[in-house]
Structure 1
Amino acid sequence: MKNFQLLLIALIFQFSLQAQIDGSDLWFSESSLNSQNYLLKPKSVVVSDAEGRITLASNELLHGLNRLFKTSIKTKHKVSKESVWLSLSVNSDIRELIDPKELDELGSDGFIIKYIDEKKSVLITGNTEIAVLYGVFHYLRSLQTIQVNKDDLNIIEIPKYKIRILNHWDNLDGSVERGYAGRSIWRWNELPEKISPRYHEYAKVNASIGINGTVLNNVNANPQILSTEYLQKVNAIAKVLRPYGIKVYLSVNFASPAVLGGLENASPKNEQVKEWWKEKVKEIYDLIPDFGGFLVKANSEGQPGPMDYGCTHADGANLLADALQPYGGIVMWRAFVYNPKGNDRARQAYEEFYPLDGQFRQNVMIQVKNGPVDFQPREPFSPLFGAMKTTQLMPELQITQEYLGFSDHLVYLGTLYQEFLQSDTYADGEGATVARVTEGSISNDHLSGIAGVANIGLDNNWCGHHFAQANWYVFGRLAWNPDLDVEMIADEWTRQTLTQDDKAVDAIVKVMMNSREATVNYMTPLGLHHLMGWDHHYGPEPWCEIEGARPDWLPTYYHKADSLGIGFNRSSSGSNAVEQYQAPLISMFDNVSTCPEKYLLWFHHVPWNYQMKSGLTLWNQLCLKYQQGVDEVRRSQEMWNTMEPFIDEKRFAEVEQKIAIQLKEAIWWKDACLLYFQTFSNQPFPKGVEKPIYKLDELKKQKFNLKHHN
C-alpha cells in the first residue's frame, strides 16, 4: 500500500510538472540530467568575491546546477575537489594559474573556463562580472549539450561582435509591428511604478546567449519615446536589464525636435536643432548613464529624415552622433531605403549609401538588412557589405518571420543566417565573408555589431511557435560567434528546450535543418521573391495588382512572368544590379549559365524551356521545387507524430497543430503559384507534382484572414 501511494504521488508530481511546461522557460525548460553520465557533477561552488561583484553569476550557477541535478549544491570559501570556482581575473590566484596575456585579450565580455587539475575543479573567470556571468551560462549549457569531461573544459571565448542587439518593433500602444506572439512585453502604461517579472526573465535569457543590447521601440518611432515621461519608463527597464549586461537603446523619429520640441524644423543645418539634440541626450544620460544610443529609420516608407531638408544621410547621422559622442553613445542608421521611381528596388540602398562612404562619424554604424530587398525567404547578400570600406556596417537579420509564415510555420532560420554570414563578398580577396568584413577581423574596426529584429511577445511561449524560440537562440549564438555550426546550435537548443533523448534530438534537428529550404521551395524557389500579398506579407498573391499602389510593393514587379519566361533581369542587359558586387561575383551572377540556381530568377528573366543543370526545363524544375517543399513539410509532420513519448503533452499538441496549418498553407502556396504561372508557361505539370486541390479563380477571390496570426 505504501509503495502504491508513493507511486501515485510520483505520478501526480510528474503530471503537475508536465502541466506547467508551456514554453515560458524557453531553453531552460529541459532541466533534468542523469548525473551518472556527467563526470564533473560539482559538489560545491566557490566564489572568490569579497566585494560581491559576481553575486548574480554565482546565484545563476547555483540555481542552474540545482535545477539540472535536482540537488542542493553547497557553497564553500576555499577551492576543494570537484568544485566550480568563480572569480574575477584581478584575483592574484587567477593570475598564477592563467597567463595574464590571455586574460588581457578577453576584453570586457570574454571568459575562460578551465579545468584545474591540481585542484580537481573547474574555474570560470573573466575581467568583468558580466564576463563571469557569460562563462556561467556557457558552462551550464555545456553540461546539458555535451558529455563533459575535463578535456572539454579548456575554453577561451571572446565574442566576435562587440554589440549584439535585439531590435524590438514594439509600439507605445502595446502593439508589435510584424510581431506574431501577442502584444509587447513592455507595459508602458504600468511603468515606471510597476515592473513586470518578464523583464527579469527577458534579461536572463538574453544574457544566456550573449545578447548585450536591446532597442525597446519600433523603428517607425513615435517621438513621445523621448519625452521626459517616457524616459522615466525607459530608465525603469534599464535598471532591470543592467545587471545582466544589457544596454537599452531607443529608436528615434528624426522630426522629434519639431514634433516634440516645437522647433520650426528638424534640419541638421539648424543650430537650434543641434542644441535640442544635445540637451535631450544629456537628459537621457543623466537618467541612464550606460544608455547605448539611437536607432534611426529616416527617409524610408514615409519616415522623416535629413533629405527632407536637402541634406544627406551622413548629415543626419552625424547630427545625432555628435550629440552622443561625449557619452560613448552610438547611432545605428538604417539603410532600408527605396524610391518608388527607381528602376530596381534592389539597387537603391547601394546607390544612396555607397557614395557616402567615409563621411560618417566614428560612432555611426550603418544597419543593413541581409539582402538588398526585404527579409525574403532567400536573397543574395546586400552588395553594401564589402563595398563600404571606411564605414562600419551592422548586419540586420529578422528573427520574426515576416515573410516566412509568421509564427505558424516551423522555419529554423539558422541556415538562412549562416548562408548570409558565410557569403564571400571578395572585398579583400577570397574569404572576405560578410561575417569577417562586419565583425572587424579584416578592418580591425573599433566598433562592430549585429542586430536581430525580435520575435518576442506576451504569448506564454514568448515567440508564438515553440520552434520560433530557436531563431532567437541561434541569433544570439551567432552574434557571439558567426562561425559556429548552426546544426550544432539546433542540437543545443533542442536538448535544452525539448528533450535529452538522442534519437529524438537527431530527428528534430534534421527537420529543423531542412525547414528553411522547404519553405523557400513552397514559397519562392529558384530566386523568386516577394510573391506575398502586399498588405500582409503572408499568403501567396503572385497575381496582385492594385491600382494606385507603389509598383515595388507588388509581386508582379518582382517575378515579371510573361509568355517568354519568368524572373527579374538584374544582369548587365537589365537593371545591372550585378555591377554592385565585387569580382568574380559580377561575372558569375551576370551569366545565366554560371549564376547559382538558387539566385537564378533573382538576377535573370529565364525562358520557360531553359535547360537547368538537372536536365529539366525551368518550368518542370520550378514545379518540382514547389512539390518538394510540400513533401518536406509532410515529412516534418510524420516525424513530429513520433515525438509524443519524448515531449510534454501541451507542447506536443501545440506544435502538432502548427504543422497541420503549415502543411495546408504549403499546398496553398504551391497551387496558387503554379496555377498562376501556368497561365504564362502554358505547359502541363510534370510527373511527380500533385494535382492542385484549389482553382485559380477561387484563390484570387480568397481574402487573407488574420484570425490565427494575432
Structure 2
Amino acid sequence: MAGYLVKADSEGQPGPDTYNRTLAQGANLFARALQPHGGVLMFRAFVYDDNLNESDWKADRAKAAVEYFKDLDGQFDDNVVVQIKYGPIDFQVREPTSPLFSNLFHTNTAIELEVSQEYLGQQCHLVYLPPLWKTVLDFDLRVNKKPSVVQDIISGERFNRSLGGWAAVVNVGTNKTWLGSHLSMSNLYAYGRLAWNPTVDSEQILEEWTRLTFGQNEIIMNEIIAMSMDSWPAYENYTGNLGIQTLTDILYTHYGPNPATQDNNGWGQWTRADHLSVGMDRTVWNGTGYTGQYPDEVAQIYESLETTPDDLVLWFHHVPWTYRLKSGETVIQHFYNAHYAGADTAQGFISQWESLEGLIDGERYEAVRTRLVYQAGHAIVWRDAINNFYYNMTGIPDEAGRVGHHPWRIEAESMALDGYQTYAVSPFEAASNLTAIVTMSNSTVGTAKTILEVPSGTYDIGVNYYDLYGGQSRWTLSVNDKAVGEWLGDMDHHSLGHTPSIYLDGHSASRITFRDVKIQHSDELKIVGQPNGVEPAPVDYVVLLPPGVID
C-alpha cells in the first residue's frame, strides 16, 4: 500500500470534529504515521452537513467544501493530498467546477472523478464521461487574474505544490466486462489516459480505446465514436439539464427519475421548484453567496443572469419558468424539447449499433444491443416522468403538443381486465396516466385485452411494464390468440446490474418491443401476466408504433 484514503465528518459518520479536532489535525494524524514509510494520505473533501434547513434561503450544500477547508489551507502536512470532487455536490450530470480548487494555495490537491455512473445510468445507459470531465479539467479559475486551469492546479504546477493527483470512484467487479458494460470500459480507459495526459482530446481517447477493443474496422470505429460522443449530451437532455442536476431519486437508488426527492429534505440537492419558478439562487447579492467562493473574474460571470451560460443557469439562479434563455426558449419549453431530443437520440443508438451486426462477435454484439434497447425504453420513461412532473407543477403546456399526448398508446387500465386490478403508481409521474395494473394476488394470472382500433398495417408493439426485485414474472403478448412474444421480469438477476427496486417506480419501469407485427383493424390484443414472488406482473401501457414513429 502506498497510503490511505480517508473520508471524515460526512453523511452522519464520525470524523475529527467528533473528537474536537480540525480536519487538518485528523488528516495529519494518519499522515504522520505514514510519513516514515513514504506513504501518502488522500483526504476526501466530500464533507458537508446533511441536515440543512431548506427554508433558509442562504443554506447551500455546495458551499460546504470551501467553508470546511479554506481556512485550513497550509495546515495539512506535505504528504496529505486533499481529494476534491469535480463539482461541489456529488457527481451530477453537470456541475460547475468546484471552487475549492481555487482556494487552496498551500495544500496538495487532487481531482476526484467518477467512472461508476452512480447518478448517470449505472452502466445500463451508455454515457461516455470524458467530455463531462473536460468541462472541469479545462476550466480556467483565473486565480489572482492569472491562468489557473484545473489540470495545472491538481498537477501541483500552478501553486508550486510537491504533490497532486487524480482519483476515481470505479466499480470494477467480478463481471467479465469489469464494469458490466462493454462500452462503459471506455470511461475507465479514458480516466487513466487523462490522468497521464489531461490535454488529450476526448474523441482521440475514444478512437484509441475503440481500436484496442474492437479492432481496426473503420465502420465499427465511426459508429462507436458517434454513439459515445452523443451519449452524455443525450443523457443530460433526458434526465436533468440547465444545471438543475440529474433529477434521479436521491433518497433511494440514485437511478430512475423522481424529481420530487431533490427538495423538502436536508440533503441540499434542492431545485427550489414551484409552480412559478425554479433554480437555486447562489448569487452574493440575493442568494446563498456561493458565487463569491470563486475568484473575481469567474464570480462576476456566474453572479449575473445575463452572463451565466444556459447550461448552468438553474444552478446559479432562481428564475420564472417563463424566463427566456439565450436560445430564445423559455425554461419550461427547453425542458420539454430537451427531454424529447435526448430520448430520440437514445432510440437512434439501437439502429447505429445494429448496423454493426456481423462485424462484431455475437456475444459482445448481443450484450451491448440488450443494454441499448433497454436504455432507449428507459429514456422514454425518463422523458415522460420529468416532463409530466413539471407540466403538472406549472400548468404550462408544451408548445409542440407532445407532453401528455400519446396517440399511439393504449393504457393498460383501459383494457378489459381479468385477474388484474388498477394500481396508483408512486411517484405519479413514473406511470403513463398515473396508473398501472397488477395481478390481484401473487398466485393469480392476469389477462388484459383490447380491440385495436388502428389502421391495418405493420407496427412495432412496445409494452411498458415494471420489473421488480424479488420476483420474476412472465408475460405473453398475443394478437388474435397468436403469440407475438413473451418475456421474463428478471432484472433482479439480469446482466443489466443496476440497483433494483421493490416498487413500481422510475427504477423498475422498463419496456420491451416486438418489431414488425402485422395488425388488422379490430384485431384483439391480449397480455397475460403470470406473477412470481412479490412481483405482480405489472403493466403500464401498450404502444403501437407505425414505421419511423417514436412514442
User: How far apart in 2 are the matches of 1:614 and 1:699?
Assistant: 34
Q: Which amino acid aligns with 2:145?
A: G
- Deviation of 1:645 after TM superposition, in Å, equals 2.6
Within-5 A mapping of 1:40-59: none
Q: Which amino acid aligns with 1:303?
A: Q
Closer, same or farther in 2 for the Cα pair 1:424/1:704, shift >3 Å? farther
- Deviation of 1:303 after TM superposition, in Å, equals 2.1
Q: Which amino acid aligns with 1:543?
A: A
User: How far apart in 2 are the matches of 1:427 and 1:689?
Assistant: 46
CA contact (8 A) 2:145 2:297 kept: no
| DSSP-derived class of the 1:612 partner | coil
CA contact (8 A) 1:530 1:558 kept: no
Closer, same or farther in 2 for the Cα pair 1:322/1:623, shift >3 Å? same
- Deviation of 1:642 after TM superposition, in Å, equals 0.4
Partner of 2:292: 579
- Deviation of 1:529 after TM superposition, in Å, equals 1.4
| DSSP-derived class of the 2:253 partner | coil
Within-5 A mapping of 1:549-628: 550-552=265-267, 558-572=270-284, 573-628=286-341
Q: Which amino acid aligns with 2:274?
A: D
1:313 to 2:28 alignment: no
1:513 to 2:229 alignment: yes
Structure 2 counterpart of 1:437, from 153, 156, 160: 153
| DSSP-derived class of the 1:528 partner | coil
Q: Which amino acid aligns with 1:292?
A: A
User: How far apart in 2 are the matches of 1:682 and 1:384?
Assistant: 39
User: How far apart in 2 are the matches of 1:649 and 1:435?
Assistant: 40
Q: Which amino acid aligns with 1:536?
A: T
| DSSP-derived class of the 2:255 partner | coil
Closer, same or farther in 2 for the Cα pair 1:704/1:529, shift >3 Å? farther
Q: Which amino acid aligns with 1:537?
A: H
Partner of 1:709: 497
Partner of 1:473: 189
| DSSP-derived class of the 2:63 partner | helix
User: How far apart in 2 are the matches of 1:524 and 1:485?
Assistant: 25
Partner of 1:633: 346
Partner of 2:356: 643
User: How far apart in 2 are the matches of 1:505 and 1:600?
Assistant: 35
User: How far apart in 1 are the matches of 2:376 and 2:403?
Assistant: 14
**Of Structure 1 and Structure 2, which has the larger fraction of its residues in helix?**
1
- Deviation of 1:705 after TM superposition, in Å, equals 4.2
CA contact (8 A) 1:671 1:692 kept: no
CA contact (8 A) 1:672 1:699 kept: no
1:399 to 2:80 alignment: no
Q: Which amino acid aligns with 2:198?
A: P
User: How far apart in 2 are the matches of 1:357 and 1:668?
Assistant: 46
Partner of 1:652: 365
User: How far apart in 2 are the matches of 1:463 and 1:454?
Assistant: 8
Within-5 A mapping of 1:678-689: 678-687=391-400, 689=402
1:539 to 2:256 alignment: yes
User: How far apart in 2 are the matches of 1:451 and 1:570?
Assistant: 28
Closer, same or farther in 2 for the Cα pair 1:509/1:689, shift >3 Å? farther
Q: Which amino acid aligns with 2:65?
A: A
CA contact (8 A) 1:630 1:670 kept: yes
User: How far apart in 2 are the matches of 1:658 and 1:367?
Assistant: 33
User: How far apart in 2 are the matches of 1:411 and 1:528?
Assistant: 18
1:340 to 2:50 alignment: yes
Q: Which amino acid aligns with 1:595?
A: T
| DSSP-derived class of the 1:402 partner | coil
User: How far apart in 2 are the matches of 1:692 and 1:660?
Assistant: 23
User: How far apart in 2 are the matches of 1:471 and 1:340?
Assistant: 30
Closer, same or farther in 2 for the Cα pair 1:647/1:552, shift >3 Å? same
Query: What do residues 522-551 of structure 1 show as CA deviations (whole Å, max 9, x unaligned)?
Result: 1111111152111110001112389xx942
Partner of 2:427: 700
CA contact (8 A) 1:305 1:316 kept: yes
User: How far apart in 2 are the matches of 1:473 and 1:653?
Assistant: 22
User: How far apart in 2 are the matches of 1:355 and 1:563?
Assistant: 40
- Deviation of 1:451 after TM superposition, in Å, equals 0.4
- Deviation of 1:341 after TM superposition, in Å, equals 4.2
CA contact (8 A) 2:336 2:403 kept: no
CA contact (8 A) 1:344 1:575 kept: yes
Closer, same or farther in 2 for the Cα pair 1:692/1:466, shift >3 Å? farther
Q: Which amino acid aligns with 1:535?
A: Y
Structure 2 counterpart of 1:322, from 32, 54, 58: 32
Partner of 1:69: none
Partner of 1:491: 207
Closer, same or farther in 2 for the Cα pair 1:379/1:704, shift >3 Å? farther
Query: What do residues 571-604 of structure 1 show as CA deviations (whole Å, max 9, x unaligned)?
Result: 2211111111112111111111110111111111
Query: What do residues 404-433 of structure 1 show as CA deviations (whole Å, max 9, x unaligned)?
Result: 010201111111111111111112535311
Closer, same or farther in 2 for the Cα pair 1:544/1:440, shift >3 Å? closer
Within-5 A mapping of 1:264-413: 291-342=1-52, 343-413=59-129
CA RMSD of aligned residues (A): 2.1
User: How far apart in 2 are the matches of 1:522 and 1:465?
Assistant: 21
Partner of 2:140: 424
- Deviation of 1:479 after TM superposition, in Å, equals 0.5
User: How far apart in 2 are the matches of 1:697 and 1:587?
Assistant: 48
User: How far apart in 1 are the matches of 2:120 and 2:94?
Assistant: 10
| DSSP-derived class of the 2:273 partner | coil
Q: Which moved more, 1:490-499 or 1:682-691?
A: 682-691
User: How far apart in 2 are the matches of 1:536 and 1:689?
Assistant: 29
| Count of matched residue pairs | 415
TM-score (norm 1): 0.56
| DSSP-derived class of the 1:551 partner | coil
CA contact (8 A) 1:529 1:558 kept: no
1:529 to 2:208 alignment: no
| DSSP-derived class of the 2:363 partner | helix
User: How far apart in 2 are the matches of 1:431 and 1:501?
Assistant: 41
Query: What do residues 158-197 of structure 1 show as CA deviations (whole Å, max 9, x unaligned)?
Result: xxxxxxxxxxxxxxxxxxxxxxxxxxxxxxxxxxxxxxxx
CA contact (8 A) 1:627 1:690 kept: no
Closer, same or farther in 2 for the Cα pair 1:688/1:387, shift >3 Å? farther
User: How far apart in 2 are the matches of 1:668 and 1:678?
Assistant: 15
Partner of 1:461: 177
| DSSP-derived class of the 1:406 partner | coil
CA contact (8 A) 1:566 1:607 kept: yes
Q: Which amino acid aligns with 2:17?
A: M
User: How far apart in 1 are the matches of 2:370 and 2:146?
Assistant: 46
Structure 2 counterpart of 1:674, from 370, 373, 387: 387
Could you say which structure has the larger radius of gyration? 1
Closer, same or farther in 2 for the Cα pair 1:410/1:530, shift >3 Å? closer
User: How far apart in 2 are the matches of 1:495 and 1:545?
Assistant: 41
User: How far apart in 2 are the matches of 1:508 and 1:530?
Assistant: 25
User: How far apart in 1 are the matches of 2:141 and 2:351?
Assistant: 39
CA contact (8 A) 1:522 1:666 kept: yes
- Deviation of 1:709 after TM superposition, in Å, equals 2.5
- Deviation of 1:442 after TM superposition, in Å, equals 1.8
Within-5 A mapping of 1:34-433: 291-342=1-52, 343-433=59-149
User: How far apart in 1 are the matches of 2:405 and 2:197?
Assistant: 44
Partner of 2:480: none
Within-5 A mapping of 1:4-43: none
Partner of 2:479: none
Closer, same or farther in 2 for the Cα pair 1:621/1:475, shift >3 Å? same
Identity %: 38
Query: What do residues 34-91 of structure 1 show as CA deviations (whole Å, max 9, x unaligned)?
Result: xxxxxxxxxxxxxxxxxxxxxxxxxxxxxxxxxxxxxxxxxxxxxxxxxxxxxxxxxx
TM-score (norm 2): 0.72
